[in-house]
């Protein structure tokens, strides 16, 4: 397809590692936001026929994923008075980075075995999507901070969005915007809950949320 | 007409937001809900409902779910209005808005024949319910809301991945990539089978998380336990079945593509596993509402098990959606009354419910017998139909395990519920306070009466609707 596509995807993949390795929450927010902007721009390259629909979609995606959501998260970070430190739960940064690397490698190998359509055979889009979903899960499970789990959810969603780029015809503009709106509302509600968590427990670590069992 | 079904609760939500009086605001919910029900009656009888160029269609399956959700919502809204007034000064604006929003979004999920749109509705119901679980602003409800929000959102995101896989399966056909249900079913045999299988698994895991199937159910007991009683009732009776409907949509495509056997096998195993997890955690459970929550896990297992068995069991499973939903509403609302009277929902503090609250206590006991499948209540009939179909289709092992798990559940649940209902109330709860009232017991009575009715007599229009829906799912090629 377009020569610029793969380099952009490699940048997006690198951002996965930045998100896993950076020690400040703001750094993670920025990495996820930048990835969101890249995804929006990718839509332009994947689709040769650029109409108003694609341009609108790019605008909404870049606006929400790149600016509105990250701004809002930074705001929540400040409001909730959260220490700007990631604190990985299981193992260390090295641990999650190596798990991320292994997952990304496996995603590459695995995508080769997938029965992809002819036009998608040599595209980096599918492995990049799987690797990003994996990174999202990694962040969701190994980070204790509630806000980091939200960022993990956003990475997961970014990964799914990458796969969705192959199928823009299947998801009409209205649905695409609906999905993005749900994502934003989700993050919005999550941030409110985080605010309450920090007020209730004077910390945003989900380690305090262990009251309910059995 | 079709759009009105979605818009009426949506507009009502906006109106409710504008009402300043905390005391009167909740009463707008039954009014809006009644309006919704009237529209549903027209939609069920009138000409085929279709809008937005085939994106919204009321098919036989949708008719059952829509009618059911509307009735359930009306029953719950009356109780809720009274319940919120008992809560006195606690602001209820957001609660009422979210309650109505969830009705609107559930209607959207049921009507959607565009699976992307259905996904949007499903995620929206999740978000709309979250503030209501956190209604009491306690640390425990905070924890429950966080788990609910994060686990369900991630689950539903996986379902989106699954839906994209489904759309990808069309790339191997002459079809443009699409997520329109009708096109997908029509061209199902041409779809790429590996992608279709992967899509089904992801959708089952994703929406299964929302539906509360084990092992993805971990959010469910917490959310059901900590939410106000009517919210638990709505979650359990209406919202979980909506996620079930979403799974059925993709199952429908798999079935049409000739992948029925593959998806059925998974569903039988997952169904039995959910029933087992429900049974294990119900035994010795000391929290009344968590007990009912695990019962929901069990019954969601029964639903997918029924679909997995196929044939007559599909009819049984669809009937069980109604039976389980109505019984769960009765049980959760009674548990709400018990909690109001005793100030606790732990079995250590609650005993002699029949003496303390004669009506609620009796209905709670009746509800227990109903949900565990005792005749003459509805769940007996639907569970019997499912097991009968399993044996009739030579699935002896599955049928036997199903019966064994039902027996364990009966004993496990009974050992908790009987002491709660029988005996003498503790001193502390004897003081006057909450008493049975018309508005707090009539909704329970009505839903149990319906469950009893479904057990002895299924009205012919409902029966033909159920048959039509079962036939609709079991596409013959």
Whether the bond into B48 is cis, omega within 30 of 0: no
**Tokens 């299924």 — which residue?**
B458
Question: So what's the pLDDT on residue B366?
Answer: 94
Task: Report if residue B315 sits inside a domain.
Answer: yes
Distance from CA of B120 to the nearest CA of A (A): 6
For residue A68, which phi and psi values (nearest 5 degrees)? -60, -55
Task: Report if residue B156 sits inside a domain.
Answer: yes
Task: Report if residue B243 sits inside a domain.
Answer: yes
Do residue B117 and residue A175 have CB atoms under 8 angstroms apart? yes
CB pairs under 8 A between A and B: 122
Question: So what's the pLDDT on residue A96?
Answer: 84
Pick from B127, B146, B171: CB nearest A146: B146
Which of 288-347 (B) contact A at CB < 8 A?
290
Q: CA A176, CA B55: separation in Å to the nearest integer?
A: 14
Question: So what's the pLDDT on residue B429?
Answer: 62
Question: So what's the pLDDT on residue B128?
Answer: 93
Do residue B179 and residue A212 have CB atoms under 8 angstroms apart? no
Do residue A117 and residue B130 have CB atoms under 8 angstroms apart? no
Query: Per the structure block, which two tokens stand in for B133?
Result: 């679980």
pLDDT higher at B300 or A176: B300
Q: Are A139 and A158 in contact (CB under 8 A)?
A: no
Task: Report if residue B453 sits inside a domain.
Answer: yes
Per the structure, the complete domain to which residue B230 belongs is given by: 137-473
Pick from A133, A193, A212: CB nearest B140: A212
Distance from CA of A133 to the nearest CA of B (A): 9
Question: So what's the pLDDT on residue B88?
Answer: 62
Q: CA B67, CA B56: separation in Å to the nearest integer?
A: 16
Chunked into runs of 10 residues, chain B (477 residues) has average pLDDT values of 89 90 87 94 84 86 94 94 79 91 95 93 93 89 90 93 91 81 88 92 95 92 92 93 95 91 93 94 90 94 94 93 95 92 86 88 94 92 94 92 94 90 76 79 94 93 92 72
Q: Each residue of A22-47: pLDDT tens digit?
A: 888 899 999 999 999 998 888 888 77
CA B370 to chain centre: 16
Residue B185 burial by Cβ neighbours in a 10 Å radius (0-12, 13-18, 19+): middle
Task: Report if residue B161 sits inside a domain.
Answer: yes
Helix (H) or strand (E) holding B353: helix B353-356
Inform me whether the pLDDT recorded for A175 exceeds 90: no
Do residue A146 and residue B157 have CB atoms under 8 angstroms apart? no
Task: Report if residue B382 sits inside a domain.
Answer: yes
**What ipTM describes this predicted complex?**
0.91
Inform me whether the pLDDT recorded for A193 exceeds 80: yes
Helix (H) or strand (E) holding B247: helix B240-256
Q: Each residue of A115-153: pLDDT tens digit?
A: 887 777 778 889 999 999 999 999 998 888 888 899 999
Residues of A in contact with B142 (CB under 8 A): 193, 196-197, 200, 209
Q: Each residue of B418-434: pLDDT tens digit?
A: 988 888 888 766 566 77
Check if B281 contacts A (Cβ < 8 Å). Answer: yes
Question: So what's the pLDDT on residue B430?
Answer: 58
Question: So what's the pLDDT on residue B477?
Answer: 43
**Tokens 């064994």 — which residue?**
B404
């Amino acid at each position: 397809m377009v020569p610029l596509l793969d380099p952009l995807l490699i940048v997006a993949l690198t951002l996965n590692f930045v998100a896993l390795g950076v020690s400040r929450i703001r750094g993670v927010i920025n990495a996820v936001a930048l990835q969101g902007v890249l995804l929006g721009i990718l839509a332009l390259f994947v689709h040769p026929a650029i109409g108003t629909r694609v341009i609108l979609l790019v605008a909404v995606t870049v606006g929400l994923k790149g600016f509105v959501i990250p701004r809002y998260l930074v705001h929540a970070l400040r409001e909730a008075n959260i220490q700007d430190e990631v604190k990985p739960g299981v193992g260390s940064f090295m641990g999650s980075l190596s798990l991320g690397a292994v997952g990304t490698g496996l995603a590459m190998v695995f995508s080769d075995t997938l029965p992809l359509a002819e036009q998608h055979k040599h595209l980096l889009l599918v492995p990049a999507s799987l690797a990003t979903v994996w990174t999202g899960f990694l962040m969701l499970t190994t980070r204790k901070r509630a806000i980091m789990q939200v960022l993990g959810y956003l990475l997961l969603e970014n990964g799914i969005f990458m796969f969705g780029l192959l199928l823009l015809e299947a998801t009409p503009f209205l649905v695409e915007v609906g999905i993005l709106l749900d994502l934003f509302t989700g993050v919005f509600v999550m941030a409110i809950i985080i605010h309450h968590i920090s007020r209730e427990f004077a910390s945003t670590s989900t380690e305090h949320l262990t009251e309910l069992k059995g | 007409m079709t759009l009105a079904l979605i818009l009426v609760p949506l507009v009502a939500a906006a109106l409710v937001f504008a009402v300043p009086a905390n005391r009167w605001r909740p009463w707008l919910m039954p009014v809006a809900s009644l309006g919704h029900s009237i529209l549903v009656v027209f939609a069920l009888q009138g000409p085929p409902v279709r809008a937005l160029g085939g994106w919204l269609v009321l098919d036989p399956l949708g008719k059952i779910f829509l009618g059911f959700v509307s009735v359930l919502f009306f029953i719950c809204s009356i109780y809720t209005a009274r319940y919120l007034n008992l809560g006195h000064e606690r602001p209820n604006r957001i609660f009422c808005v979210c309650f109505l929003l969830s009705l609107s979004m559930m209607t959207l999920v049921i009507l959607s024949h565009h699976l992307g749109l259905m996904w949007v509705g499903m995620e929206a119901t999740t978000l709309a319910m979250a503030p209501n679980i956190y209604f009491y602003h306690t640390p425990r409800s905070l924890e429950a809301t966080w788990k609910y929000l994060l686990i369900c959102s991630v689950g539903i995101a996986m379902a989106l991945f699954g839906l994209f896989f489904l759309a990808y399966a069309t790339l191997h056909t002459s079809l443009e990539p699409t997520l329109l249900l009708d096109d997908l079913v029509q061209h199902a045999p041409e779809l790429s089978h590996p992608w279709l299988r992967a899509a089904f698994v992801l959708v089952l895991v994703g929406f299964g998380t929302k539906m509360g199937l084990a092992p993805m159910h971990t959010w469910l007991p917490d959310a059901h336990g900590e939410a106000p009683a009517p919210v638990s009732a709505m979650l359990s009776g209406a919202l979980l079945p909506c996620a079930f409907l979403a799974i059925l949509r993709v199952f429908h495509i798999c079935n049409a593509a000739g992948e029925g056997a593959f998806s059925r096998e998974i569903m039988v195993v997952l169904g039995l596993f959910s029933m087992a997890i429900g049974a294990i955690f119900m035994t010795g459970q000391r929290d009344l509402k968590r007990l009912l929550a695990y019962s929901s896990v069990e019954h969601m297992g029964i639903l997918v098990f029924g679909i997995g068995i196929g044939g007559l069991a599909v009819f049984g499973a669809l009937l069980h959606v109604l039976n389980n939903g109505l019984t769960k509403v009765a049980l959760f609302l009674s548990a709400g009354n018990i909690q109001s009277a005793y100030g606790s929902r732990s079995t250590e503090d609650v005993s002699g419910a029949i003496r303390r609250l004669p009506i609620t206590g009796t209905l709670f006991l009746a509800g227990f017998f109903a949900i565990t499948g005792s005749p003459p209540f509805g769940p007996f009939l639907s569970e019997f139909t499912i097991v009968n179909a399993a044996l009739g289709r030579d699935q002896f092992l599955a049928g036997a395990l199903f019966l064994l798990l039902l027996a364990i559940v009966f004993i496990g649940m009974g050992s908790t519920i009987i002491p709660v209902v029988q005996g003498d109330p503790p001193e502390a709860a004897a003081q006057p306070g909450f008493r049975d009232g018309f508005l707090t017991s009539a909704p329970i009575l009505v839903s149990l009466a319906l469950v009893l009715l479904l057990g002895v007599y299924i009205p012919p229009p409902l029966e033909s609707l159920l048959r039509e829906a079962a036939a609709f799912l079991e596409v013959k090629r």
